[in-house]
Amino acid sequence: MTSQQIRQQFLDFFKEKGHLIVPSAPIVLKDDPTLMFSNSGMTQFKDYFLGYKEPKSPRIADTQKCLRVSGKHNDLDDVGRDTYHHTMFEMLGNWSFGDYFKKEAIDYAWELLTEVYKIPKENLYVTIFEGDSSENLDRDNDAYNFWKAHISEDRIINGNKKDNFWEMGESGPCGPCSEIHIDIRTAEEKAKVSGLDLVNNDHPQVVEVWNLVFMEFNRKADGSLEKLPSKHVDTGMGFERLCMALQGKTSNYDTDVFTPLIAKVEELSGKKYTGILEDEKDIAIRVLVDHIRAVSFAIADGQLPSNGGAGYVIRRILRRAISYSYRFLGIKEPFLFELVAVLRNEMGDFFPELVKQQKLVTEVIKEEETSFLKTIEHGLKRIDLIINETISKNEKTLPGAAVFELYDTYGFPADLSRIIAEEKQLTVDEKGFDEEMEKQKQRSKKSSAQKVYDWVVLEEKAETFVGYDQIETETYITRYRKVE
């Protein structure tokens, strides 16, 4: 089954169950002071949960473009290092706004996974919220009982607040949740360790695929919980992980979501992707094909790289990709921009913004690559110098302030400094680094952002969005210019 078919089957299934299918909201949030990017499917529905707005239908389903690179949900450091966390990913979701609740949510999920996708039942585990006395929250016995109808009790596992009480951010709608994990290991591996032991260890081959959240509370800014006006269901299934399981792969990067991009990187770099977890070249390739998606979707949704706010996050993601390809693939010319066409071919049918904005996305990435490549050489020389100084002093830790300077002045990603240090059996003084970061935050609060260069939008074309009433218009950037 191709990824496109897998996505479509999800939507068709929920359509048949009376859900209205809506398009993904933009990945960039323009009017939410608590969040920069959509970090889950529910972000666009927040106001429905809070009772501020009426949903168009009490049952909705979609796939949402998500980005987890800042705030409460930040997976950036794992990306490339593991096989199943991305910066940008699709979250398939079904919602009930004051309509069905736990029983139906659990029954639907089970039916879809075992009857439509035909995942063997013996490969599934579920978790439920064990309760938390400090917040007066009970164990989710209802979820436990509804699961019991489908799965043996030893496969229903208690989970703590960290994993089984879902919160969008520091504040906002939240509630207990129940997660579904798929064991994709071979029979031989299963015989060695029980899947049960691996569920809560973030094991890459017993992977969390779907989270069913039972929205009952709102976390207020003062940290307290209040009951929502009604009860809702909010589910999120990792699309790329589902594809991995259904396509019989052991890494998201081996699914057809990523293989065309990887093939293009191989062609452009002359390097072969071997899928090894610790291999620097393979890490770099995973980073590139992941980050190009994040950056392309963000730009297509109107978020240009810049020196502040969400634009700065996007610029840093792009620079992380450039640094990895420079250092580990030896690519010293702009080339990431060439992946945009591949992405458009693969995903443009479902996400037309990639087609409409292809030119803008390509040009912006190429220009960003060109200018960052001019400074990266300095950054690499500088870290070599810092490493040599550290070694000559017989020390094992790179000073946090020096690594921060690299990050701040050269835009050199801190995790890359860590990797380079590790190659020489050195570590980074993380505490010192964090202190410098904090000082910088205080400084930039005082002075306005330093001027390097930014993109200015000269003309935006707003188009009426036909799909869904909450997003009234979508804006396409048609003319833009770089300012030094």
DSSP H helical ranges for 168-279: 187-192, 195-199, 239-246, 259-269
3-state secondary structure of 80: coil
Q: Is residue 286 within the footprint of ligand ATP (CB under 6 A)?
A: no
Name which of 297, 286, 220 is nearest 66 in CA terms.
297
Ranked by CB distance to ligand ATP, the top (closest) residue is 238
Cβ–Cβ under 8 Å, residues 84 and 244: yes
240 binds ligand ATP (CB under 6 A): yes
Question: Which of ligand ATP, Mg ion, none does residue 405 bind to, with CB < 5 to 8 Å depending on kind?
Answer: none
Query: Of 204-212, 326-334, 403-411, 470-478, which part binds ligand ATP (CB under 6 A)?
Result: 204-212
Nearest to ligand ATP of 130, 369 (CB atom): 130
200: partner contacted, choices Mg ion, ligand ATP, none (Cβ within 5-8 A by kind): none
Nearest distance from residue 76's CB to ligand ATP, in Å?
9
Q: Does 208 bind ligand ATP (CB under 6 A)?
A: yes
Nearer to Mg ion, 243 or 304 (CB): 243
- Asked if residues 233 and 212 have their Cβ atoms less than 8 Å apart, the reply is yes
Q: Choose one: 83-91, 95-103, 451-459, 463-471; the region binding ligand ATP (CB under 6 A).
A: 83-91
Give the CA angle between residues 323, 329, 331 to the nearest 5°.
Answer: 70
What is the nearest approach in angstroms of ligand ATP to the Cβ of residue 240?
Answer: 6
Per DSSP (E only), the strands in 205-327 are: 206-219, 225-238
The conformation of residue 480, written as its DSSP 8-state character, comes to E
CB of 338 to ligand ATP, least distance (A): 24
Cα distance between residue 27 and residue 43, in whole Å:
10
**Residue 259: which residues within 8 A CB-CB, separation 6 or more?**
253
Residue 427, phi then psi, degrees to nearest 5: -120, 175
91 binds, among Mg ion, ligand ATP, none (CB under 5 to 8 A by kind): ligand ATP
| 308/64 Cα distance (integer angstroms) | 25
Sign of CA dihedral 359, 361, 362, 366: positive
Shortest CB 179 distance to ligand ATP, Å: 6
Choice from 45, 89, 146, 372 touching ligand ATP (CB under 6 A): 89
Contact between 241 and ligand ATP per CB under 6 A:
yes
At its nearest, how many Å lie between ligand ATP and the CB of residue 43?
11
| C-alpha dihedral, 333 to 413 to 343 to 260, nearest 10° | 80
Q: What type of residue sits at position 218?
A: N
Q: Does 417 bind Mg ion (CB under 5 A)?
A: no
Residues 248-277 that bind ligand ATP (CB under 6 A): none
Range 191-230, binding Mg ion (CB under 5 A): 208, 211
Nearest one of 406, 269, 261 to 333, comparing CA atoms:
269
Q: Name the minimum Å distance from CB 282 to ligand ATP.
A: 18
Residues that bind ligand ATP (CB under 6 A): 40, 68, 75, 85-86, 89, 91, 208-211, 236-238, 240-241
